[in-house]
Amino acid sequence: MQRRLILIFLYEADKMGRVFDFLFPSSKVQPPDSPVFYREARMGDEQITYKDAGVDYSNLDPFKRLAQESARRTADYLERHGYRELEASRGESAYLIDIGDRYLAHVEEGLGTKNLVADAMLKLAECDYYASVAIDTVAMIVNDMLTVGALPVSLAMHAAVGDDAWFTNEARTKSLIEGWLRACRYAHCAWGGGETPTLKGIVNPEAIVLSGSGVGFVRKDQIMLGSRICAGDAIVILTSSGIHANGLSLARKVAEKLPESYLHRLPSGETFGRVLLRPTHIYARLIHAMQQAGIECHYGVNITGHGWRKLMRASQPFNYVLDELPPVPEEFDLIQEMSKNSDRDMYGTFNMGGGFALFLPQDSAHQLMELAATLKLSYKIIYAGRVEAAERKRVVLVPKDIEYTAEDLQVR
């Protein structure tokens, strides 16, 4: 009996320590050591997929393909203005218009549901993370633009709410604005304005839908397209900061099952919520430096929705062989443990530590590695694999013995 009381006391003291650390983030965070805590944070044996969490690409992707087919019928209208589209950019992450000596790039992107994690953390820990989710939103726009080699020139914010009272929280709105401004400065682009619609009856009154659009330019001799990929190209991976802004629906589902929700401590001592809200890396600085140095690059992929399957986004058939994978951020270990998803499911849904992929000649890859070492970047760069000639598309993750085929990615 006495031993049992001591164990209960130690557990409760450990739990209160975690709450104290959350309410006072400046306090030194210590890793948890209570086995009771981890035993309680278990789900059943039933698998919870991304589809179960509310995102089914088999519903989304057919619409995307149909929209692309219809959109092609409008391309002729550009000729009235003296321009024409670069048809090869249809289906890419950025749409390109030929305006003479360069291409104009246009992107529309959104944050997804990551701000709901920020809302939960505001209630649970009284910590405001809206600067972080603002950076995430900008990163989603800018990183998509970078895939074709375009650098952003101007961005616009779209902030839709269900009740305009959302904007009366001055601390939160100031944080949102400061985060957006900081991200634009880091990406070296202008913030051109935006829109703040009140969509009563469509958007939850307590929530906001963050998205935006951007325009940029790329010189014709620096264009990056899937059609430029060659057998023998190297595959270079730029590491992620964590989950970035994709897969949050499943992460939120996991948080619902944790006794302390987003306050659950990970092995590092950080909370699940705080780690999820690390802002997405913006890779513009490296791409700009690469272009300034004259390093040839054929293509880029922003590893977001569809996870590592997205490496075979280009139309032509190649084997994309990855001999080295980046370290997996700790939040993915928890998500996998709690959701019972296989490695194949995880790498086919999340970035798993890889935020961006570049496809470039092997000599160029070595030059890029040397350049990156001089830039003091906040992320690492990994010479991860190679492109091989093939009769059909495949992504092969050698360390995990995982293979994805063309049937696993239907976005074009």
Q: Which of 142, 113, 3, 101 is nearest to 55 (CA)?
A: 113
For the chain, count helices (H), then strands (E). 12, 13
| Per-residue confidence (pLDDT) for residue 409, from 0 to 100 | 85
| pLDDT value of residue 8 | 39
Output the six-digit token pair for 350: 């999340």
Query: What does the pLDDT read at residue 412?
Result: 57
Sign of CA dihedral 140, 141, 142, 147: positive
β-pairing verdict for 354-360 and 190-195: unpaired
Whole-prediction pTM: 0.86
Supply the pLDDT for residue 272: 98
End-to-end CA distance of the chain: 65
Asked if the 57-74+83-408 domain carries CATH number 3.40.50.2300, the reply is no
Question: d(Cα 239, Cα 227) in Å, to the nearest integer?
Answer: 24
Mean pLDDT per 10-residue segment, the chain (412 residues): 40 38 33 30 63 70 83 90 94 94 96 96 94 98 98 98 96 97 98 96 96 98 96 98 96 96 97 98 98 98 94 94 98 96 96 98 98 96 98 96 91 60
pLDDT at residue 27, as a whole number: 32
- Listed by start position, the domains of the chain span 2-34, 57-74+83-408
